[in-house]
Amino acid sequence: MKDYEPEEFEDELERLKQENEIKRMKLKLEYGADFPIDLPNTDLHPEVESQFLDNVMEFEKAFHNSERVMIYDFIGKPEYKISEAIPDSAIGDELERILEILDQNQIDVATLCEVDDRVLYQFITEELFFTETDNIRMEGWFSHFTYEEFHPNHEYDLRNSCTDFFGSFLNNDSDFFTGHLTKEASENKWFDNFRQAFNSFTLNKLVITNIQFDETSAKVLFDIDFSGVIEGSNLTETYSGSGEMNFILQWGYWYINEVTLPPNQK
């Protein structure tokens, strides 16, 4: 930032604020961009905000003027071998070479779980290459693709959903657990009533013992041990034993429809 005399500095800040307001209006009118109402009132320096708005404008122009192209065309149609022609001893190097070409063209490929090198190579060369992307190239701009978006790992998702649910449900300062529930379950007063009966919880153990699923529903069995301090007292109730969580697959995500906890220990 330039150095200004105090009076000049205030004038420059005011000028930048007015310019930023014009930029926000232009982005909204031309591209439908929406910004938080209180953005001008945040601690964001007007010069930093100006650069941010310029970057948004650059992206919007590029996006609205771009066309869709296959990723293989986007990265320059590099030569590659079919998976079956690559020996096991060389598949790792070939995968690394292809990933480097993608990275050089601002395309990132990641996995949430461990995926065999040959499986990932086949996914990239037989599937991802022929997926369309926006024909946009901007400094610092990457397109991100995750293997599990194309080939979901349901066991991984169900395990995480169960763990994340209890991490939030047994924390009275968090309501994130509601995002894991189906609409019907979120309307069930049991969840709120149970939490409100306790002042705090202590989770001692959560072990997932079995996961079963088909194309539309799933069941997660678990062993759990937790205690809760009853609201308005120093008394504690403990829940320890086996429980069950039922899921429904909706819009590509697993949502919890029902939770059965073990009985409290008298």
SS3 at position 231: coil
Q: What is the pLDDT of residue 68?
A: 83
The residue count for the chain: 266
User: Tens digits of per-residue pLDDT, 27-86?
Assistant: 676 666 666 545 555 566 777 777 776 666 666 655 565 688 999 999 999 999 999 999
Say which DSSP state 181 is in: B
Lowest average pLDDT, out of 37-46, 101-110, 130-139, goes to 37-46
**Residues 261/239, Cβ–Cβ less than 8 Å:** yes
| pLDDT band, very low/low/confident/very high, at 142 (cuts 50, 70, 90) | confident
pTM: 0.72
Whether the pLDDT of residue 1 is over 60: the answer is no
202: pLDDT confidence band, cut at 50, 70 and 90? very high
Q: Which residues of 152-184 are buried (b: 16+ CB within 10 A; e: fewer)?
A: ebbeebbeebbeebbebbbeeeeeebeebbbee
The per-residue pLDDT for 22 is 73
Question: What value does the mean pLDDT of the chain take?
Answer: 87
pLDDT at 189 over 70: yes
Strand (E) or helix (H) holding 59: helix 46-64
CA distance 51 to 54: 5
% residues pLDDT > 70 (the chain): 83
pLDDT (0 to 100) of residue 29: 67
Confirm if 153 and 248 have CB atoms less than 8 A apart: no
Q: How far apart are CA 106 and CA 140, in angstroms?
A: 8
pLDDT of residue 9: 59
CA–CA gap between residue 263 and residue 125 (Å, rounded): 52
Least Cα distance to 262 among 235, 242, 234 occurs for 242
90 against 32, higher pLDDT: 90
With 90 as the cut, is the pLDDT of residue 8 above it? no
Q: What is the pLDDT of residue 115?
A: 97
The pLDDT score that the predictor gives to residue 74 is 95
Strands 107-110 and 143-146: parallel
pLDDT given for residue 33 in this prediction: 65
Mean of pLDDT values over 3-22: 68
pLDDT tens profile 211-256: 999 999 999 999 999 999 999 898 999 999 999 999 999 999 999 9
Fold of 154-265: Nuclear Transport Factor 2; Chain: A, (3.10.450)
Residue 136 confidence class, pLDDT cut points 50, 70, 90: confident
Q: Read off the pLDDT band of 263 (50, 70, 90).
A: very high
**pLDDT number for residue 60:** 63
Task: Give the pairing type, strands 264-265 and 236-250.
Answer: antiparallel
Max Cα-Cα span within the chain: 73
